[in-house]
């Protein structure tokens, strides 16, 4: 019996490609950029693995071959996949919850620390030969320890960030669609509205899902409601931020510094950020550890295995 065809749209970690080639007729690619003509490439495929930069909208899904039974996204976020359109065609969608929470929270903490302590500016100064020794007023940032941290979206990643931040003695506040059980809050202060949440956010970290409901959530009005000189970090989705508003706030000092790992329309980065010293820019590294990416790959492969065997996968997007 021939092995099912599995189309992979991007280069994956070696261990995952080896598993795919062992268990499937795997159509792999050496490219790290979005695959062109996905529909044609998917001819005869029963399963597909895509990535966050691959837009599987309703039009593309409608055009996929009838053979496709499952789309696996190499990410926890799935706003780039029209799940309703897939479901209408009887195509299951699986993702990678849980396994990247710690790595992404570490990245958010890195952004907070680097932005608050002006680490990017310091590194650029040294590389440019502009450092001439210690000085009492050089690159003075702000402490993270003891500050009030606001987390927008206290899901798995947000809770991991809160756990790490407690090690810095930070006071944890959060805003979400509903209050979490006390055991998940772990002492964090819930705010049901922006009105009470934003004024306490000396540091704000974004961890809400993408999509129409949260698009440009961090807008001019919300930025104005934050304490002057606050720090912002985004390791969730670039669409959460109104770039024009954040750039203006970084220039005015309303926001002292920001750390960004994701961008609206990535890999495009709003050019307004590029000339600013008080923003740390990373190329979507949230889950980029060997251990995490391997775990993500095995999870999507497990999901594909389950769907093609007629079972309901644990990582099914519902």
62, containing H or E segment: helix 58-63
Phi and psi (nearest 5°) for 143? -65, 145
- DSSP three-state, residue 270: coil
Inter-residue contact 44 to 283 (CB < 8 Å): no
| Cα-Cα-Cα-Cα dihedral sign, residues 206, 157, 31, 1 | negative
CA-derived radius of gyration, the chain = 21
111, containing H or E segment: helix 101-116
Helix axis angle for 290-308 and 101-116, nearest 10°, is: 150
Q: Report how far residue 39's alpha carbon sits from residue 58's, in angstroms, rounded to the nearest whole number.
A: 13
Q: How many CA atoms lie within 13 A of 78 on its CB side?
A: 23
Q: Report how far residue 282's alpha carbon sits from residue 284's, in angstroms, rounded to the nearest whole number.
A: 6
Tell how many helices (H) and how many strands (E) occur in the chain: 12, 12
Q: Report how far residue 5's alpha carbon sits from residue 264's, in angstroms, rounded to the nearest whole number.
A: 33
Q: Report how far residue 198's alpha carbon sits from residue 143's, in angstroms, rounded to the nearest whole number.
A: 19
Q: Report how far residue 152's alpha carbon sits from residue 141's, in angstroms, rounded to the nearest whole number.
A: 24
Please work out, in degrees rounded to the nearest 5, the angle formed at the alpha carbon of residue 194 by the alpha carbons of 188 and 199. Answer: 75
Classify residue 81 by its DSSP letter.
Answer: B
Inter-residue contact 169 to 145 (CB < 8 Å): yes
Classify residue 316 by its DSSP letter.
Answer: B
What residues are annotated to the active site?
Answer: 237, 266, 284
């Amino acid at each position: 019996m021939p092995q099912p065809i599995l189309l992979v749209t991007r280069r994956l970690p070696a261990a995952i490609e080896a598993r795919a080639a062992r268990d499937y007729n795997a159509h792999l690619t050496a490219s790290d950029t979005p695959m062109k003509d996905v529909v044609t490439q998917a001819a005869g495929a029963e399963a597909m693995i895509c990535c966050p930069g691959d837009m599987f909208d309703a039009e593309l899904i409608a055009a996929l071959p009838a053979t496709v039974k499952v789309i696996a996204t190499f990410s926890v976020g799935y706003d780039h996949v029209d799940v309703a359109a897939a479901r209408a065609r009887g195509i299951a969608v699986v993702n990678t919850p849980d396994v990247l929470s710690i790595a992404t929270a570490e990245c958010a903490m890195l952004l907070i620390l680097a932005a608050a302590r002006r680490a990017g500016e310091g590194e650029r100064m040294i590389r440019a030969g502009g450092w001439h020794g210690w000085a009492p007023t050089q690159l003075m940032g702000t402490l993270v320890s003891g500050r009030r941290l606001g987390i927008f979206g206290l899901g798995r990643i947000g809770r991991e960030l809160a756990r790490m931040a407690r090690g810095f003695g930070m006071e944890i506040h959060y805003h979400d669609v509903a209050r979490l059980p006390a055991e998940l809050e772990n002492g964090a202060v819930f705010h049901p509205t922006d009105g009470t949440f934003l004024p306490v956010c000396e540091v704000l970290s974004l961890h809400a899902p993408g999509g129409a409901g949260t698009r440009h959530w961090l807008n001019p009005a919300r930025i104005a409601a934050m304490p002057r000189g606050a720090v912002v970090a985004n390791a969730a989705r670039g669409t959460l931020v109104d770039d024009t508003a954040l750039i203006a706030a970084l220039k005015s000092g309303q926001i002292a510094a920001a750390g960004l790992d994701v961008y609206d329309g990535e890999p495009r980065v709003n050019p307004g950020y590029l000339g600013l010293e008080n923003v740390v820019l990373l190329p979507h590294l949230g889950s980029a550890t060997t251990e995490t990416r391997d775990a993500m790959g095995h999870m999507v492969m497990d999901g594909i295995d389950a769907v093609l065997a007629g079972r309901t996968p644990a990582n099914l997007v519902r």
